[in-house]
Amino acid sequence: MDEREYRHDRARAEELLELATGIAEEAGQMLLAKRPARPEVLATKSSPTDVVTALDRAAEELIRSRIAEARPRDAVLGEEGGDTPGEGGVRWVVDPIDGTVNFLYGLPDWAVSIGVEVDGEIVAGVVHNVPRGELFTASKGGGAWLRGERLRCNTGVPLAKALVATGFGYAAGRRRVQAEVLAQVVPQVRDIRRGGSCAVDLCSVAAGRVDAYYERGANYWDHAAAGLIAVEAGARLGGLNGRPVSPDMALCAAPGLFEELHDLLVPLDPERD
DSSP letter (8 states) at residue 10 = H
Say whether 98 is catalytic: yes
β-bridge mates for residue 264, sequence order: none
Contacts of 3 (CB under 8 A, 6+ apart): none
The residue annotated as part of the active site, out of 97, 114, 122, 229, is: 97
Helices 198-207, 220-232: crossing angle, 10 deg rounding: 0
14 class by beta-carbon count within 10 Å (0-12 exposed, 13-18 middle, 19+ buried): middle
95 labeled binding residue: yes
Average pLDDT over residues 31-50: 73
Say whether 97 is catalytic: yes
Q: What percent of the chain has pLDDT over 70?
A: 94
- Looking only at the bridges linking them, the beta strands covering 51-53 and 41-44 are antiparallel
| Full DSSP string of 76-120 | EEETTTEEE--SSSEEEEEEEEESHHHHHHT-S--EEEEEEEETT
1 class by beta-carbon count within 10 Å (0-12 exposed, 13-18 middle, 19+ buried): exposed
Average pLDDT over residues 232-260: 98
Spatial contact of 135 and 145, defined as CB atoms under 8 Å apart? no
Residue 53, pLDDT score = 79
- C-alpha 160/C-alpha 216 separation (Å) is 22
The residue annotated as part of the active site, out of 60, 74, 80, 98, is: 98
CATH 3.30.540.10 in the chain is located at 3-150
The residue annotated as part of the active site, out of 56, 60, 74, 79, is: 79
Which range, of 46-55, 67-76, 127-136, 199-208, averages the lowest pLDDT?
Answer: 46-55
The residue annotated as part of the active site, out of 74, 222, 232, 271, is: 222
- Give the model confidence (pLDDT) of 66-87 as tens digits: 999 999 999 999 998 999 999 9
CATH 3.40.190.80 in the chain is located at 159-268
pLDDT band at 36 (very low <50, low <70, confident <90, very high): confident
Which range, of 34-43, 87-96, 113-122, 236-245, averages the lowest pLDDT?
Answer: 34-43
The residue annotated as part of the active site, out of 21, 60, 74, 100, is: 100
Mean pLDDT rounded to a whole number for the chain:
93
- C-alpha 200/C-alpha 217 separation (Å) is 15
Higher pLDDT, 45 or 154: 154
Say whether 79 is catalytic: yes
CATH number of 159-268: 3.40.190.80
Whether domain 3-150 has CATH 1.10.3080.10: the reply is: no
Half-sphere exposure of 120 (CA within 13 A, CB side): 0
Residue 3, pLDDT score = 62
pLDDT band at 126 (very low <50, low <70, confident <90, very high): very high
79 labeled binding residue: yes
Average pLDDT over residues 148-174: 96
Residue 104, pLDDT score = 87
211 labeled binding residue: no
- CA distances in angstroms from 205 to 35, 77, 189, listed in the order given: 28, 25, 15
- Give the model confidence (pLDDT) of 203-228 as tens digits: 999 999 999 999 999 999 999 999 99
Say whether 95 is catalytic: yes
- C-alpha 147/C-alpha 132 separation (Å) is 12
Residue 149, pLDDT score = 97
Which range, of 27-36, 112-121, 236-245, averages the lowest pLDDT?
Answer: 27-36
Say whether 222 is catalytic: yes
Provide Rg for the chain, Cα atoms: 18
Global confidence as pTM: 0.94
- C-alpha 48/C-alpha 45 separation (Å) is 7
- The set of long-range contacts for 64-67, using a CB threshold of 8 Å and a minimum separation of 24, is 64/94, 66/22, 66/23, 66/26, 67/19, 67/23, 67/92
